[in-house]
A and B are shown apart, each in its own frame.
Chain A
Amino acid sequence: MKMKHTLLFFISLLFFGTYLGKAQEEKETIAKDSIIKNNKYGLRLGLDLARPIRSLVDKDFSGFEIMADFRITHRFYIAAEFGNDKDDQIEENLVSSTKGTYAKLGVDFNAYNNWVGMDNAIYAGLRYGFSTFNQDLQGYTIYTGDTTFPGTIVYDPISYSGLNAHWIEFIFGVKTEVFNNLFLSINLQLKNKFYEEVPENFNNLYIPGFNKTNDYGNFGVGFGYGVSYLIPIYKK
Chain B
Amino acid sequence: MLYFWKNETNSNQTMIRKIVLLFLLVGIISACTKDDICTKETLTTPFLVIKFKNKINPLLSKNVTNLTVTTIVNNDSIDIYKSQTKDSILIPLNTLTNNTEYLFTENNTSSNPGNTDKVIFTYQTDNIYINRACSFKVIFKELITQLEIVEGENWISEIEVNQSTVENEDETHVTIFH
Contacts and interface: CB of A to CB of B under 8 A. Distances in A.
Asked if chains A and B come from one complex, the reply is yes
Contacts, number: 110
Contacts of A187: 22
A148 B22 CA distance: 49
A28 interface: no
B27 to A, nearest CB: 10
Interface string A187-201: 110100000000001
B78 interface: yes
B20 to A, nearest CB: 10
B33 A140 contact: no
Chain A CB count within 10 A is highest, among B8, B73, B96, B137, for B96
Chain A CB count within 10 A is highest, among B22, B38, B47, B136, for B136
Interface in B59-79: 71, 73-74, 78
Interface of B: 8, 11, 15, 18-19, 22-23, 25-26, 29-30, 33-34, 36, 38, 40, 44-45, 47, 71, 73-74, 78, 80, 92, 94-96, 100, 127-138
Rank and list the top 7 A-B pairs by shortest CB-CB distance, nearest first.
Answer: A93-B135, A144-B45, A94-B135, A215-B131, A149-B94, A152-B95, A140-B135
Interface of A: 89, 91-94, 115, 120, 122, 140-146, 148-150, 152, 154, 172-174, 176, 186-188, 190, 201-203, 205, 213-216, 221, 223
